[in-house]
Structure 1
Amino acid sequence: MLKIRNLTAAVALASISFIGTASAQTLSYADAVTKLADDCGTDIQKLCKGLNLGGGRIATCLQQNSAKVSPACKGTLSTVFQSIGQRQRAQMSYEQVCQRDMTKSCSGVKGDGFVLACLMTKKRVSAECKQVITDAGWR
C-alpha cells in the first residue's frame, strides 16, 4: 500500500502542469495523495509497473494508457489536479486579493504568518479574501 501511495504522490506532483480550475474547497496534498492511491493505485500497478518515481513518468504512463485507465481513476485525476491547481493559484494570489483587507484591518502587523493570522481573526474581511485563504488551504 505504501508503494501505491508513493506512486500516486509522484503522479500528483508531476502532473500539476495539467491542472484546470475548480469551484469547490481545495483538497489538502495529503488528501489528494490518499484519493489517488485509493482510486488509481490498481491502474498504476497494472499499467505502469516498474517505472521509477519522478520526472513525470507515471503521469506520462497514465496518459499514454488513457484508454485503459479506469473511469474512477480518470475522474479522480481530474478532480485532484483541479483542486491542487486551485490551491496553488490561491496561494500565489493571496497577497493581491487580500491587500485592501491587510491595509484596513492589519496595517501594524509585521510578518506574513502574523498578517494571515490577523486576517483570519477579523470579522470584517472581504468575502474574496476569506475565500482565497480557504482555497489556499490555510483555513
Structure 2
Amino acid sequence: MIKLISTAVFGIALFALSFSQPALSQDGSQGVLEACEPEIKEHCENVTPGEGRLFACLYSYEDRVSPQCANAFDDFADALDFLFANANEALAICAPDIQAQCSDTTVGGGRILTCLSENKGSVSAECQEQIEVFENRFGLN
C-alpha cells in the first residue's frame, strides 16, 4: 500500500512537470528562446543553456530586451503561474486515474496529460474536468 501511495505521489509531482514541454513551449520557453534570439546572441551567447541559466541571463538584461522578448517572458510567466496555482488540486484529483490509466507512461513532454486525455472515458468525472481546464489553458485540445 505504501508503494502504491508513494507511486501516486510521485506521479502527481511528475504530472505537474509533464506540462512543461508541450504546454509551455507553445507560448513558453521555446517562445521565449525564439522571441529573444537577438538578445541571447548579444548578451548571453557564452551562457551554457540549461537549469534556467539563459533565462537568468536574459532577466539580468531586462532593461535592454525588445518588447517582443519581454512579452514572451510575460506569457511564459503567466503559464507558469497558472500551472503552479492549479497543479496541486488537479494532481490530487487525478492521482488515482494516473495510477490506474497511466502508470506505464513515461513522464515528461506532456505524456501524462496526453495519456489522461486519451483515456478520458475511463477517468473520473472530476479528473476529466481538470484535464479540460489544462487542455483549454494550454491550447492542447
The interval holding the TM-score normalised by the smaller chain is 0.5 to 0.7
User: Greater share of helix residues, 1 or 2?
Assistant: 2
The 2-side partners of 1:110 and 1:64 are apart by 42
User: Which of these two proteins has the greater Rg computed from alpha carbons?
Assistant: 1
> Unmatched 5+ residue regions in structure 1?
1-26
Q: Distance in 2 between matches of 1:55 and 1:110?
A: 29
Secondary structure, aligned partner of 1:111: helix
Deviation of residue 128 (structure 1)? 4.8
Q: CA deviation at 1:70?
A: 0.8
Q: Which runs of 5+ in 2 are unaligned?
A: 1-21, 104-114
Q: 1:36, 1:73 within 8 Å by CA — same for their partners in 2?
A: yes
Find the aligned partners of 2:99 and 2:46 in 1 and give their Cα distance: 50
Equivalence for 1:129: 130
Say if 1:138 and 1:93 are closer, same or farther in 2 by CA, change over 3 A.
farther
Contact 1:119 1:125 in 2 (8 A): no
Deviations 1:86-109 (A, max 9, x none): 23554432243458xx7xxx8xx9
Partners of 2:118 and 2:62 in 1: CA distance: 46
Aligned residue in 2 for 1:113: 102
Contact 2:23 2:140 survives alignment (8 Å): no
- 1:42-89 CA deviation, whole Å, 9 max, x = no partner? 111112121122343322222221110111111111101321342355
Q: Root-mean-square deviation (CA), in Å?
A: 3.9
Q: Are 2:23 and 1:28 aligned?
A: yes
Aligned to 2:45: 49
Kindly provide the amino acid, as one letter, of the partner of residue 129 in structure 1: Q
1:118-139 deviations in whole A, cap 9, x for unaligned?
Answer: 87227x9358535445258875
Whether the 8 Å CA contact 2:23–2:138 is kept in 1: the answer is no
- Aligned residue for 2:72, secondary structure, equals helix
Structure of higher RCO (CA pairs closer than 8 Å, 6+ residues apart): 2
The alignment covers a number of residue pairs equal to: 106
Describe the shift of the 1:138–1:91 C-alpha distance in structure 2 as closer, same or farther (beyond 3 A): farther
